[in-house]
Amino acid sequence: MTTIAGKEKMLTPEIEAFIEKWKGKPGNLIMVLHRVQEEFGYVPRDAAFEVAEALGIPVAKIYGVITFYHFFKLSKPGRNQIAVCMGTACYLNGGQDLIDECERILGVGLNTVTEDGEFSIEAVRCIGCCGLAPVLTLNGEVFGKVNTKQMRRIIQQFEGK
């Protein structure tokens, strides 16, 4: 990696090329931030500053977008990411119970990462599988009609992977 003012650059040449491709297009910031998060799993602070410089926009605009859209993350998630749906159907069918059980099993709260960096838990608005409520995803794999008794088994499937 190259350095800027003695500091190592975060953005890879591939991301820089992506920024150049999108620079003059409408909606470029969203697309660039998606690409950065795809690379790192979140949008690191230093990367946000580099994106701002590359696009010629204020860092505040970047943070406005990151904090407005639930999809973007400001901190590194666990290697295994649990997303529990809290849309209406899932909430009414026990979504909060699933969150509580995840917190109990993993020993961490919502929007945090286990000490070993293996798991993180977040609540999401809707996964789009309302007929399977309550639903969660673990690393993008959908689990439907989940009850609290199934949580330990689901989590164990991903331990050490």
Structure tokens, 52: 């701002």
pLDDT digits (tens, 9 = 90+) for 90-131: 999 999 999 999 999 999 999 999 999 999 999 998 999 999
| Rounded average pLDDT over 31-38 | 96
5 pLDDT band (50/70/90 cuts)? low
Coil, strand, or helix at residue 136? Answer: strand
8 pLDDT band (50/70/90 cuts)? confident
Residue 134: is the preceding peptide bond cis (ω within 30°)? yes
pLDDT tops 50 at residue 29:
yes
10 Å CB burial of residue 43 (0-12, 13-18, 19+) is: buried
Q: What is the pTM of this model?
A: 0.77
Mean pLDDT lowest among 2-16, 47-61, 81-95, 125-139: 2-16
pLDDT averaged over every residue in the chain: 93
